[in-house]
Amino acid sequence: ATPTAIMVGTGLGARAGLLFRNAEALERAHTITTLIMDKTGTLTEGRPGVTDIVPNDGISADRLLSAACGLERDSEHPLARAIAAHAADAGVTAVALRDVRAVPGRGVQGLRADDGHGGAADGMLRLGSPRFLAENGCIDDGAVAERLEQQGKTVVGVADGTRVLGYIALADRIRPDAAASVAALRARGLQLVMLTGDNARIASVVAQALGLDDIIAGVLPEDKAHEIEKRRGPGRVVGMVGDGINDAPALAAADIGIAMGSGSDIALDTADVVLMRSELGGLIDAMDLSRATLGKVR
Ligand code: ADP
Ligand code: MG
C-alpha cells in the first residue's frame, strides 16, 4: 500500500477504536488464516465467580476459605479476585501468611506467618491447579476435582503441606458478543483455535458452545509462544489475540499479535493491533480496513 493509504487507514482505524502499531499489521491483518485466541478475558468475560466450595473430609469450609483468602488477597489474578471477594462476603478471616508468591500459570504459595521457627518444611500453603498441587506432592484421589471439571468449571485446590484441604470451583461466562464474532470469523474461512492454561474439559465446553475448530489446553505461560510457533508455516498467517501478561510472548511469536484494549500493559506493548473496544468483533473491522487499505475492496 502507498504511504498515503497507510496513513488514511491508520487514521480511520484509530477513529474506529483499532490501533495499528505498524504498517505491516495494517497491510496483513486481512490475510490471517489461523486465529489463536486466549480463553480467559478474550472469549470469556474474565470475571469468574465462585460456584462451589468443597472441603475434603474433616476440614471445615471456613478453614479452606481462610487459607485460600490468605493466599489470594493480594493477587491480581482474576481467579484470586473472585476467591478473595467470596471469602470477604462469607465473613472469613484470612490466615496470616508471609512470603506469598505467585507461580505463574500454576497458582500461589506462602508460609504461615507464625511458622517461623525452622519447623517442618511442610508449613507451606498452596492454592492452584490440581497439577500445581500434584507437582508439590499434594495429592488426593482427585474425584472431586474431576467431577467439578466435568461441569465445565475451573477448579483450584488448596493444600496445607501435602494435605489437600479441598477445592474451589469457579465459572466464567462466555462474552455475549463472542458467538457472533466467532461465526463471522468462521464465515471468512479462518481456522479458529483456543489457547488456554485452563484444563481441557472447560476448554472444550467453551469451544463447543462457540464452534471452534481446535483447542490447546493446559498450556503453561512459558509454552504459549511455542504453541504459536508450531502453527506457523508456509501459506499460513497466524494471528494471536489475548489480553494477559501471560499472553505477551505468544503475541510476539504470532505473525500478527492482537491485544484487547482492556488487557495488561505488556500485552498492549507487544501487540501489532490493539482492539480498543475490547471486543473480538473489532478484529473483523480491522480485517476489513486492512483489505480496503490495500485497495482490494471498494
Ligand atoms: P489463562 O491461560 O486462562 O490466562 P493462567 O495461565 O493465568 O490462565 O492460569 C492457569 C491456571 O493456573 C489457572 O486455571 C489456575 O488453575 C492456576 N492459577 C494460576 N494463578 C492462580 C491464582 N493466583 N489463583 C488461582 N489459580 C491460579
Ligand atoms: Mg489470560
Ligand 1: atom nearest CA of 155 is 16
In a shared domain, residues 134 and 201: no
The predicted structure's pLDDT at residue 136? 96
Q: Hey, which of 118-122, 141-145, 199-203 has the most confident mean pLDDT?
A: 141-145
The residue from 145, 171, 197 where one domain ends is: 171
The predicted structure's pLDDT at residue 244? 78
Q: Is the pLDDT of residue 276 over 50?
A: yes
Q: How far is the CA of 225 from the centre of ligand 2 (A)?
A: 13
The predicted structure's pLDDT at residue 46? 87
The residue from 143, 171, 199 where one domain ends is: 171
Give Dmax over CA atoms of the chain in angstroms.
74
Q: Is the pLDDT of residue 76 over 70?
A: yes
CA–CA separation, 224 and 221 (whole Å): 5
- Any residues with Cβ below 6 Å from ligand 1, and which? 39-40, 72, 75, 77, 79-80, 102, 105-108, 127-129, 154, 156, 196-198, 221, 244, 246
> What is the band of 125 on the pLDDT scale with cuts at 50, 70, 90?
very high
Task: Supply the range of the domain harboring residue 116.
Answer: 49-171
> What is the band of 116 on the pLDDT scale with cuts at 50, 70, 90?
low
Q: Is the pLDDT of residue 296 over 80?
A: no
CB-CB contact of 33 with 238 (8 Å): yes
Handedness of CA 49, 55, 61, 62 (dihedral sign): negative
Ligand 1: atom nearest CA of 156 is 16
The predicted structure's pLDDT at residue 238? 98
Indicate whether 244 belongs to any domain. yes
Indicate whether 32 belongs to any domain. yes
Burial class (CB in 10 A: 0-12, 13-18, 19+), 209: middle
In a shared domain, residues 210 and 161: no
Q: How far is the CA of 80 from the centre of ligand 1 (A)?
A: 9
ipTM confidence score: 0.95
CA–CA separation, 106 and 131 (whole Å): 8
Number of domains the chain is built from: 2
Indicate whether 55 belongs to any domain. yes
pLDDT digits (tens, 9 = 90+) for 213-262: 999 999 998 899 999 999 999 999 999 999 877 889 999 999 999 999 98
CA–CA separation, 9 and 50 (whole Å): 44
CA–CA separation, 284 and 286 (whole Å): 5
> What is the band of 298 on the pLDDT scale with cuts at 50, 70, 90?
very low
pLDDT digits (tens, 9 = 90+) for 149-158: 988 899 999 9
In a shared domain, residues 219 and 136: no
- Smallest CA-to-CA distance from 59 within 151, 138, 159 is with 159
> What is the band of 51 on the pLDDT scale with cuts at 50, 70, 90?
very high
Q: How far is the CA of 197 from the centre of ligand 1 (A)?
A: 7
| Portion of the chain with pLDDT greater than 70, in percent | 96
In a shared domain, residues 59 and 142: yes
| Direct distance between the N- and C-terminal alpha carbons of the chain, in angstroms, rounded to an integer | 14
Q: Tell me which DSSP letter residue 40 carries.
A: I
One-letter amino acid at 34 equals T
The predicted structure's pLDDT at residue 190? 98
* 182: CATH: 3.40.50.1000
CA–CA separation, 194 and 109 (whole Å): 28
